[in-house]
Chain A
């Protein structure tokens, strides 16, 4: 429990010493939430070599999060439908602020910082209608709520800062009931989209899929340095259909759908869990924990490879390819053309790997 005094003190400290950076938290390359063997949860900072740099207990299973671009601060969201998010000082190892979704909203589970780190944006969903909002929080005021604007669709999931500073939102299109099963209410009429937003909420561009793909919920995002956005999808249509689960979009153009050879397509189980571009290069990877595989494509949508890794879901950029985490504690790297083990932790890594 953070006391008000403790909170103000840590806030004051953070403001007073602007030189505090991720180096003060051990310079982790990635953040990942995990379940511990005893059933508790924690946020880990790890390096690309598989070394643990910090471990901070969490009160429950998280979803995804966002890392501040400079300061050693991370926001982790409660599991959907969650109404709180925690701002964590990764250098000091404690929660410095609990963000509460406004009345009538719940968090989508993802968020993004502005390039200067002064604003935090959170994906939010209207409980009554499923319509999407982006909440804005100002760091300088102790992460106070400072605004909100429409996300441009129903059921937003991931939001991402683009290389040019604007936002891109995966509006998944699904209205889910707030029950334990998250019953999906509008599968017949769902129409997901990809929405480009300026930081003031202006809609800059929207992309919809062709009508036969309207059951393909757009959920996770990655951005290439050249501005190309990769979007990973989860299919809600007939199981006999194996649609593309990854799309690549360049502003002003039609999306390129990345298709798999038919013998490989079923292995994804119609479920894209996470997506990332490599740091230097043009390959993009989409994971499927349900299939225990990841699929790698080129920037033009050409299939390259489908490595196998049980329960793999987290994926982030690595210098020579991709870093991967799985529910059995493994960290692995896909470099030029093969998977290689990096480290085995005695935890279950949660869905997402956040690259700092």
Chain B
């Protein structure tokens, strides 16, 4: 490990940071615009025909678009906890199906208005709640109320996506671009904006390893396939690939393509994830297939180390002086 890191240090010719401006223009703004557009499309389709068969393609498009921005856990998406509302996962206590079942059992009229829907449990809102409604047999017979709930949740999601997209366009993009300028109260130095993007990159890779891979892998004696993300819709592997692609895109723009070790590690992780041929990571339960998933897990961990060693070293930052420190 030590030799690998010193090799990284030796090979790293300090990446130059085109940095913030390029990430905002080429990665963030297009990402949120696409998320807004697909969520708006989802709302429209569900309003016209709320049956799962009709809604699923637009829901998948929206999930794809979300995967391109889900790692950006700062700025407008964090206002009022929106990121948790959009993506309530992992859900270790099965709060989502419980909350949905309660709404349906009560035929709760709170979802009749947008204001009301915004007040229901966060577990019953967003992309993952919709996955239950669209794919889980438990909600097949939800009837007219289930239909209304699908429409309410898609509208709620579209409202949030539109607000976040608008907030980026109206101000937060400029806030990032002017990091360190007098009067910028969010980013006190240009380094702080770069740091926010670097942190998002690291945290995104960590989330892929810990939540999307390590949780379903469980232990050899006790694999946990039902902990795979979005297995009901068959998206577990797809989400890993999409997330890695988004993170590779972020790393590329952040460094203006001057971080070869990171790029190589990201490319390898993406190729291995694409090659899994295991949409719901069912292979965690099969010794021969499990190894392939563990190799992806190791490859993403290697990419994390590359980002930390190569990009982090040249930024002069680490994962966070205090956040990494138990106290």
Within 316-356 of A, Cβ neighbours of B (below 8 Å) are at: 326-332, 338-344, 348-351
The one of A35, A308, A344 that contacts B78, using a Cβ cutoff of 8 Å: A308
Binary CB contact string for chain B from 298 to 327 against chain A (1 if under 8 A, 0 otherwise): 000000000000000000110011110111
B320 touches A310 (CB 8 A): yes
Partner of A344, one of B121, B192, B323: B192
Q: B188 to A264, Cβ gap below 8 A?
A: no
The residue in B186, B188, B191 that gathers the most chain A C-beta atoms within 10 A of its C-beta is: B188
A289 touches B320 (CB 8 A): yes
Nearest chain A CB to B163's CB is how many angstroms away? 14
Map CB proximity to B onto A171-212 as digits: 1 under 8 Å, 0 otherwise.
000000000001000000000000000000000000000000
Complex alpha-carbon distance, A341 and B122, angstroms: 32
Tally chain B residues at the interface, Cβ within 8 Å.
32
Task: Check if B188 sits within 8 Å of A313, measured CB to CB.
Answer: no
Q: Which A residues lie within 8 Å of B188 (CB)?
A: 330-332, 341-344
**Chain A residues positioned under 8 Å from B81 (CB to CB):** 261-264, 267
Closest to B123 in A: A262
Q: Residue on A with the closest CB to B126?
A: A263
Q: How far is the CA of A63 from the CA of B322 in the complex (A)?
A: 11
Q: How far is the CB of B186 from chain A (nearest CB, A)?
A: 7
Q: Please measure, in the bound complex, the distance between the C-alpha atom of A329 and the C-alpha atom of B195, giving whole angstroms.
A: 11
Sample of 15 further A-B pairs with CB below 8 A, known A308-B74, A351-B325:
A262-B121, A264-B81, A267-B81, A273-B327, A308-B78, A310-B196, A312-B322, A327-B321, A328-B192, A328-B195, A328-B321, A330-B192, A332-B188, A341-B186, A351-B322
A76 CB to nearest B CB, Å: 15
Residue of B nearest to A340 (CB): B185
Contacting residues, chain A, for B293 (C-beta < 8 A): none
Q: Which residue of A63, A293, A348 has the most chain B CB atoms within 10 A of its CB atom?
A: A348
CB distance from A15 to the nearest CB of B (A): 35
**Nearest Cβ distance between residue A38 and chain B, in whole angstroms?**
11
A240 touches B (CB below 8 Å): yes
Nearest CB in chain A to that of B326: its residue: A182
Q: Give the contacting residue for B321; candidates A264, A338, A340, A348; CB below 8 A.
A: A348
Bound form: Cα–Cα A238–B27 in Å: 35
Q: How far, in whole Å, are A30 and B123 apart by their CA atoms in the complex? A: 42
Q: Is the CB of B191 within 8 A of A328?
A: yes
Q: List 30 A-B contacts (CB under 8 A).
A: A35-B321, A109-B327, A261-B81, A262-B121, A262-B123, A263-B81, A263-B84, A263-B122, A264-B81, A266-B84, A267-B78, A289-B323, A292-B323, A308-B78, A310-B74, A313-B322, A327-B321, A327-B322, A328-B192, A328-B321, A329-B189, A332-B188, A339-B185, A339-B186, A341-B185, A341-B186, A342-B188, A344-B191, A344-B192, A349-B321
Contact status B180-A344, CB under 8 Å: yes
Which residues of A sit under 8 angstroms from B321, Cβ to Cβ? 35, 311, 327-328, 348-350
Name B's interface SS: loop
Give the chain B neighbours of A262 by CB distance below 8 A: 81, 121-123
Q: Is A16 an interface residue (CB 8 A)?
A: no
B326 — which chain A residues lie within 8 A by C-beta? 182
Residue among B191, B323, B325, B327 with the highest chain A CB neighbour number at 10 A: B327
Cα separation A289 to B186 with both chains bound (whole Å) = 16
Q: How far is it, in angstroms, between the C-alpha of A290 and the C-alpha of B323 when the chains are bound?
A: 4
Measured in the bound complex, the distance between the Cα atoms of B199 and A308 in whole Å is 14
Q: Which of A23-79 contact B (CB under 8 A)?
A: 35, 37, 63
Docked-complex contact A311 and B320, CB < 8 angstroms: yes
Q: Does A214 contact B (CB under 8 A)?
A: no
Counting CB contacts under 8 A, is A106 at the interface? no
Cβ of A239 under 8 Å from chain B: yes
Residues in A with CB closer than 8 Å to B122 are 262-263
Find out whether the CB atom of A273 lies under 8 angstroms from the CB atom of B185.
Answer: no
Cβ of B322 and Cβ of A338 under 8 Å apart?
no
Cα of A341 to Cα of B316 in the assembled complex, Å: 21
- Answer yes or no: B80 CB below 8 A from chain A CBs: yes
Q: Do A350 and B322 form a contact, CB below 8 Å, given A328-B192, A338-B185, A341-B188?
A: yes
In chain B, what residue has the closest Cβ to A181?
Answer: B326
Determine how close the nearest CB of chain A comes to the CB of B122; give it in whole angstroms. Answer: 4
Is B93 close to A, CB under 8 A? yes
Contact assessment for A328 and B327 in the assembled complex, using a CB-CB cutoff below 8 Å? no
Residue pair B85, A263 in contact (C-beta under 8 Å): yes
Q: Once the chains bind, are A240 and B317 in contact (CB under 8 Å)?
A: no
Closest chain B residue to A157 by CB distance?
A: B327
> Cβ of A264: which chain B residues have Cβ within 8 Å of it?
80-81, 84
Residues on B with C-beta less than 8 A from A35 are 321
- Complex Cα spacing A133 to B185, Å: 43
**Please, which residue of chain A has its CB at the minimum distance from the CB of B187?**
A341
Given A289-B322, A310-B199, answer yes or no on A63-B327 (Cβ-Cβ < 8 Å).
yes
Q: CB within 8 A of A328: which of B74, B92, B123, B317?
A: B317
Residue of A nearest to B91 (CB): A240
Nearest CB in chain A: distance from B127 CB, A:
14
Q: Which residues of B contact A344 (CB under 8 A)?
A: 180, 188-189, 191-192
In the bound complex, residues from chain A placing their C-beta under 8 Å from that of B322 are: 273, 289, 311-313, 326-327, 349-351
Answer whether residue A219 sits at the interface, using C-beta atoms and an 8 A cutoff. Answer: yes
CB 8 Å contact bits of B51-90 with A (1 = contact, 0 = none):
0000000000000000000000010001011101100000
Which partner residue on chain B sits nearest A61 by CB separation? B325
Q: What is the distance, in angstroms, from A267's C-beta to the closest C-beta of chain B?
A: 7
